[in-house]
Amino acid sequence: MMSKATDSRTNVPFAINAYTKEQLKEALRKMYLIRKFEEGAEDCYMRGLIHGTMHLSIGQEASAVGSCMALEESDQITSTHRGHAHCVAKGAEVSRMFAEFFGKETGYCKGRGGSMHIADVAKGNLGANGIVAGGIPIAVGAALTAKRLNTGKVVICFFGDGANNEGAFHESLNMAAVWKLPVVFVCENNQYGMSTSIERSTAVSQIATRAIAYDIPGFTVDGNDLSSVAEAVSEASSRAKSGKGPSLIECMTYRWRGHSKSDRNRYRTKEEIEDWKKKDPILRFGEVLKDHKVITDEEMKQLETDVDKEIVAAIEFAQSSPSPSLDEVTRDVYTEIDQ
Amino acid sequence: MMSKATDSRTNVPFAINAYTKEQLKEALRKMYLIRKFEEGAEDCYMRGLIHGTMHLSIGQEASAVGSCMALEESDQITSTHRGHAHCVAKGAEVSRMFAEFFGKETGYCKGRGGSMHIADVAKGNLGANGIVAGGIPIAVGAALTAKRLNTGKVVICFFGDGANNEGAFHESLNMAAVWKLPVVFVCENNQYGMSTSIERSTAVSQIATRAIAYDIPGFTVDGNDLSSVAEAVSEASSRAKSGKGPSLIECMTYRWRGHSKSDRNRYRTKEEIEDWKKKDPILRFGEVLKDHKVITDEEMKQLETDVDKEIVAAIEFAQSSPSPSLDEVTRDVYTEIDQ
Amino acid sequence: MSSAPVQSAEQDSVEMSYAEAIRDALDIALGEDERVVLMGEDIGVYGGAFQVTGDLVNKYGEDRVMDTPISELGGAGVAVGAAATGLRPIFEFQFSDFAMLAMEQICNQAAKMRYMLGGEVSVPVVMRFPAGSGTGAAAQHSQSLEAWFGHVPGLKVVQPATPYDAKGLILAALDDPDPVMIFEHKILYKQKGLVPKGRYTVPLHKAEIRRAGADITIVASSIMVHRSLEAAELLFDKGVSAEVIDLKSIRPIDKQTIIESVVKTNKLICVYEGVKTLGIGAEISALVAESAAFDYLDAPILRLGAADCPVPYNPELEKASVPQVENIYQQALALCRREL
Amino acid sequence: MSSAPVQSAEQDSVEMSYAEAIRDALDIALGEDERVVLMGEDIGVYGGAFQVTGDLVNKYGEDRVMDTPISELGGAGVAVGAAATGLRPIFEFQFSDFAMLAMEQICNQAAKMRYMLGGEVSVPVVMRFPAGSGTGAAAQHSQSLEAWFGHVPGLKVVQPATPYDAKGLILAALDDPDPVMIFEHKILYKQKGLVPKGRYTVPLHKAEIRRAGADITIVASSIMVHRSLEAAELLFDKGVSAEVIDLKSIRPIDKQTIIESVVKTNKLICVYEGVKTLGIGAEISALVAESAAFDYLDAPILRLGAADCPVPYNPELEKASVPQVENIYQQALALCRREL
Ligand SMILES: Cc1ncc(C[n+]2csc(CCOP(=O)(O)OP(=O)(O)O)c2C)c(N)n1
Ligand SMILES: Cc1ncc(C[n+]2csc(CCOP(=O)(O)OP(=O)(O)O)c2C)c(N)n1
Ligand SMILES: [Mg+2]
Ligand SMILES: [Mg+2]
């Protein structure tokens, strides 16, 4: 509906003012880590080391990191099929993520979930979801818990532009609004639901417009600008924590890769993809940090080298981890209790 | 969202200009017929002659008749659990409706459906529905048929205020808008979904606001004023027939009776009910017709007497009709075909 | 005939209806644990479509007895998310038929979350489904869909037949860390029975022999338990001693109780209200046919379920579409006489 | 072994994959009848998640091959409404698992509309459900839910196991005036077979004996037909002659073919990919156990279905969770030797 004033950049970006140098560097590191994690996962997949499918969010790192930056560790998120970035951003270890992709007992889901169900409940990530919009009502439920038990938590609910046409989106936003629950709906609008563009699937051109249908604030922000995302989400999160209810934040972004590993990319042009690659959120945020003397070129190099090492070690951890025992295929369906 | 200018009544109401005297008298007769039909059904129910449950729309006659007045006989509607008025308005015979309520083979559904599934496919009523919002996607499907087969038909989709919080509402309006289908969404806002008021269930105060989320026209009209309803619906229907897509029309109205036969009316006050009874849509339309010399007092009396007789005869028809044979309980589950 | 209450002597029982017994359980739950919330359509001031929640909203307030919008998918999902994060929601579907809108959140999310996340989360949600025909509400308000849920690993599914079990199973469901689906029968809501005061639980995974017998085993669930008991009386008059087992739990099914009975009686008939084909009787039949009890069977295993049609509106047709006492009696007698 | 095509000699057949055979059927349908429209997510330019619709959008345009928004409930409902009013929609769920979102429109509306309206309307909608495990897509993308649909009067439900049947059943479904649900198997999409050119149909309600045998009847569906045929080879080496029946239709089930086989072999094992409990094997077992074939049974009726868990991600676990050739072989052998 409306763009956040942040974009006009009167002087310094929000993030530079709002966070410490360490926090800002950590945000950049996380974006790197996400990028390298996904490139590593893609590579392992290509080499036949990981099976199934995966949905890469390369190019979308700012919305995940910018959103989670606005949260406390105890706050919670629900994620999507394209959920690696959310998981890392909320504090997961890439070693256990790789272990999950390799189907190992040391993985976050003990090898039962894989990429589409990656989670880290201890860090507040209630899970990716194989069902488009499947996590939206769950996020509202988590927010209900926060409100009823007075935990002070806020919940970020990530979903895609395609998900906004699911009934679950509508029902959930309505309930969250009526009950004024502490949840922030973050729509990562990468302009396609699989192959179907917003124009061909969605009756409004900006998804934030739909906030009007729930009488809640709705903002569209540059989703490749970490600071804009962080600003919008922290505002929405404060609002939520103060009892004023949910907001809808639409982050305009783009995925560089195909939808999943089986995509022939017939529905968009090379030019469009190349154009968006120029808007790399990591490079952009790196420039901002350098401009504002938060980080030096050397430090950035070091950061990158460290991340590369972390990824190598993580893959090694995953490969050398034990596989689940075939006898335990029905373990964890039910909680074990003494009858 | 906005009220139709009709209400300001610069001079003559829309209906008076738009329809012939015969049509106007017929509209009044239909409202009577609906009222008397429902009073008759209620009476039969109380006397134990009809079983199950029923949802009466007494007090809401103008939205059904005003909407259907804007249609051709070949146009179609989908209806709701509170669907008697829609059925009569679209041209059904009360005798076969009563027969259905009495569970007879001569009923519209051959005794298999009852009040909640009353239909008259031949006259374009695709059926009431036991599922709140269940008819909304079906109406959009009928509109898709109209568009693909170029039938020139428009479809009116009736639903209640409560239904607008169902996912099916959202998904359907979005698709109808994206595909510019000839359907008019008519929300009969009687302010309660069963016991739950709009304020307690719905994040917006006027449901027509939600039209913005689908980039379609949305209007709130006085649902107890037949002319306002007819004006809004005929405009929307012309728009739809000319290929411009759907509209959302919200008719503000009120049901005089409880939600169903098991309602203790704890959620609203006597005063509120009495206030709304003063806004009787039949009396109002009768006055308009008299004011504009469309009908005389005597003609009105006669009309009422005729309707009363029709109701008596219809109940007799229903009572004396044959019951289904118990051997045929599985008849009509599948179409009979020669294998 | 019902199993001994965990903690109360006979004199501490009171007569109440099945609906009142459920309300009693909900009342105890709300009183004991602030994490318990009731959610559903019109369960507040209206008291629920079947007056199960009654006046609880007055006692506990709108934050604990929450009227939801008409949004079954989202509402159930909110309950699932709340359960996964610390609340103990009890979600009422107004009619079990509307659960069709929420299958995704129940069966893709609640049932699988624990497993998909490697055991790192539990979803202690309780859902209540008023089910069954007999109210003249026709095809979309009269179904018995418990078989669907019984097919889904991760869920537990029960069908109380008495006020005693209704209360005890709800409290057991609340104590359980996993999602429990409770199929209640609309026609039973008014049925009365003795119910102990205070808290007790009925095991979620056990069937119960309601009437001992030697000649034929009738496994029935929900309202069919009562019809089968009536049929057993008629059979008794014909010299046939029927053992009637109240299934209670659809997932898991208490194989052992059924098999032991069949080993004794050598004949089995399953009676249920859901559609016969792929209904719970299919599973009971198959469980026995694959078990050691197979060799003890003297006759085919019969199933009596609903006719192959949606539930019709006309009251006579409606009755004809589901098993009645007379059908059970006739079929059981024919089976015993091997006159099929 | 497959039934004779209605109108074409052997030489008119070409080898094509299961996915191509379906596309061929859709192409014929679109070409023959302007009322036919395909609807689904990403079935247009993307060609469908499993490349079933392929390039059909180029041939017939976006009005005939319609990409829907991600709105399963609404989308399925639009197909139902369109079918009830004159179109012949073929609706593709991207994965059968997502049908959970649309159960209401499929089972409360499409299945019941004709009956509830006293036969005054037909709903000739065809829905396609890519189902089954084996792709490493885990719990929410690998289910076999056909048993749910088999429980619903008003629907017809089929599960083609070969390219020939896939094409013929789709065309038969299109000719049928009632809603037909087609459960396709994702792993079979690439499987090749001979398929006649042009139009032919395969009956919606008939099973087929894929391999004749004398010692044991194996009733299998979908991919399990192939695994059972492989197991039958192994059994043959052990001197056991297995008859393998391809079920094809879940609703209605072709009782006669199964019963005749069991009367001959005296032993029955049901093999299916859905969860064992309350899966289609339960119905097959119960059908036989209640029939005259009961007296011909020499051994318990076995069922091999999926383990009691969601489908796991790890490929070895995934395999372990559903019946494989070896399991079928071992169980069938044990049954024949009565070593259970
Ligand atoms: C209910 C459901 N429908 C369809 C799918 C298949 N699917 C997976 S991702 C996807 C596109 C989602 O688009 P969007 O929400 O924009 O997220 P993005 O992939 O762009 O991140 C689809 C159709 C699914 N997983 N769940
Ligand atoms: C999916 C579904 N949920 C709940 C119900 C029970 N129910 C029947 S009517 C009704 C209220 C509907 O409210 P509204 O849409 O405003 O229509 P009204 O009754 O006011 O005409 C409810 C909750 C139902 N029939 N279907
Ligand atoms: Mg997207
Ligand atoms: Mg209403």
pLDDT in tens, C4-44: 444 444 559 999 999 999 999 999 999 999 999 999 999 99
The burial class, CB within 10 Å (0-12 / 13-18 / 19+), for D309 is: buried
Instruction: Going residue by residue through chain B, which has 339 residues, state the pLDDT in tens, using 9 for 90 and above.
Output: 344 444 444 679 999 999 999 999 999 999 999 999 999 999 999 999 999 999 999 999 999 999 999 999 999 999 999 999 999 999 999 999 999 999 999 999 999 999 999 999 999 999 999 999 999 999 999 999 999 999 999 999 999 999 999 999 999 999 999 999 999 999 999 999 999 999 999 999 999 999 999 999 999 999 999 999 999 999 999 999 999 999 999 999 999 999 998 888 899 999 999 999 999 999 999 999 999 999 999 999 999 999 999 999 999 999 999 999 999 999 999 999 865
Residues of chain C with Cβ-Cβ distance to A130 below 8 Å are 108
Cis bond upstream, residue C252 (ω within 30)? yes
Atom number, ligand 2, closest to the C-alpha of residue C140: 25
Give me the pLDDT at residue B264, please. Answer: 87
pLDDT in tens, A249-285: 999 999 999 999 888 889 999 999 999 999 999 999 9
Fold match flag (C13-196 vs C208-336): yes
Is B177's Cβ below 8 Å from some Cβ in A? yes
Query: What's the token pair of residue D137?
Result: 């897509």
> What is the percentage of chain D residues whose pLDDT exceeds 70?
96
Strands laid side by side in the D302-306 sheet: D208-211, D242-246, D216-220, D268-275, D302-306
CB distance B210 to A213 below 8 Å:
yes
* Residue C276 scores a pLDDT above 50: yes
* φ/ψ (deg, to 5) at A183: -140, 145
Which positions of C are catalytic?
Answer: 72, 141
Give yes or no for a contact between B189 and B250, defined as CB atoms under 8 angstroms apart. Answer: yes
Look up the ipTM and state it: 0.97
| pLDDT for residue D323 | 98
Q: What is the DSSP letter of D294?
A: G
* CA–CA distance, D67 with B167 (Å, rounded to integer): 19
Q: In the prediction, which pLDDT does D304 show? A: 98
Please tell me the predicted confidence (pLDDT) of residue D287. Answer: 98
CA distance D265 to D262: 5
Q: Give the nearest ligand 1 atom to A194 CA.
A: 11
CB atoms C116 and D73 under 8 Å: no
D56-92: per-residue pLDDT in tens? 999 999 999 999 999 999 999 999 999 999 999 999 9
Residue in B59, B115, B63 with CA at minimum distance from that of residue B89: B63
Q: Which fold has domain D208-336?
A: Rossmann fold (3.40.50)
Nearest-angstrom CA–CA distance, C24 and D8? 69
Pocket of ligand 1 (CB under 6 A): A 55, 81-82, 130-132, 160-163, 190, 192-194, 259; D 41, 70, 72, 94, 98, 101
pLDDT in tens, D243-295: 999 999 999 999 999 999 999 999 999 999 999 999 999 999 999 999 999 99
Chain A hits for D41, CB-CB cut-off 8 Å, are 193-194, 196
- Chain C residues near residue D139 by CB distance under 8 angstroms: 108, 112, 115-116
In this complex, is the C-beta atom of D147 within 8 Å of any C-beta atom belonging to chain C? yes
Rounded to the nearest whole angstrom, what is the distance from the C-alpha of residue B132 to the centroid of ligand 2? Answer: 5
- Of C157, C148, C156, C159, nearest to C186 by C-alpha is C159
Closest CA to B330 of D119, D284, C330: D119
> Residue D75 in contact with residue B175, Cβ under 8 Å?
yes
For residue D151, the chain C residues in CB contact (below 8 A) are: 147-148, 274-275, 277-279
Distance C141 CA to ligand 2 centre (A): 12
Q: What is the DSSP string of C272-310?
A: EEEESTTSHHHHHHHHHHTSGGGGG--SPPEEEEE-SSP
Question: Three-class SS string for C195-241?
Answer: EECCCCCCCCCCCEEEECCCCEEEEECCHHHHHHHHHHHHHHHCCCC
Distance CA A130, CA C328 (A): 45
Residue of C72, C140, C290, C308 to mutate for D, most D C-beta atoms under 10 A: C290
Report the catalytic residues of D.
72, 141
C35 vs C87: CA distance, rounded Å: 5
CB contact under 8 A, D120 and B122: yes
C224 half-sphere exposure, CB direction, 13 A CA radius: 31
Q: Which helix (H) or strand (E) holds D317?
A: helix D315-320
Higher pLDDT: C158 or D1? It is C158
pLDDT for the residue B261 = 80
The residues of chain A scoring below 50 in pLDDT are 1-9
Residues having CB within 6 Å of any atom of ligand 2: B 55, 81-82, 130-132, 160-163, 190, 192-194, 259; C 41, 70, 72, 94, 98, 101
Which residues of chain A are within 8 Å of residue B169 when distances are taken between CB atoms?
167, 170
pLDDT of C2 higher than 60:
no
Q: Measured between alpha carbons, how far is B233 from D206 in angstroms, rounded to an integer?
A: 50
pLDDT for the residue numbered C10: 55
Q: How many angstroms separate the CA of residue A296 from the nearest CA in chain C? A: 40
Instruction: Please report the number of interchain residue pairs, chain C to chain D, with beta-carbon separation below 8 angstroms.
Output: 152
How much is the pLDDT for B7? 45
- β-pairing, C242-246 vs D36-40, is unpaired
3-state secondary structure of A156: strand
Is B333 near chain A, with CB under 8 Å?
no
Indicate the domain borders of chain D: 13-196, 208-336
What's chain C's Rg over C-alpha atoms? 20
The domains found in chain A, sorted by start residue, are 2-194+202-317 (3.40.50.970)
Nearest-atom number in ligand 2 for the CA of B194 is 11
With 60 as the cut, is the pLDDT of residue D6 above it?
no
For chain D, the distance separating the N- and C-terminal CA atoms, rounded to the nearest angstrom, is 32
Spatial CB neighbours of B222, under 8 Å, sequence gap ≥ 6: B3, B7, B228, B229, B251, B252
Please report the pLDDT score of residue B11 as a whole number.
77
Which CATH number, 3.30.2350.10, 3.40.50.970, 3.40.50.450, 3.30.70.380, labels domain C13-196? 3.40.50.970
Could you tell me the maximum CA-CA distance found in chain B, to the nearest angstrom? Answer: 65
pLDDT in tens, D189-246: 999 999 999 999 999 999 999 999 999 999 999 999 999 999 999 999 999 999 999 9
* Pocket perturbation via mutation, ligand 1, pick of D41, D45, D68, D70 by most ligand atoms within 8 A of CB: D70
Neighbours of chain B (3+ CB pairs under 8 A): A, C, D
Pick from A167, A178, A204: CB nearest B168? A167
Which tokens belong to C222? 């929900």
Residues in chain A: 339
**Cis peptide leading into residue D252 (ω within 30°):** yes
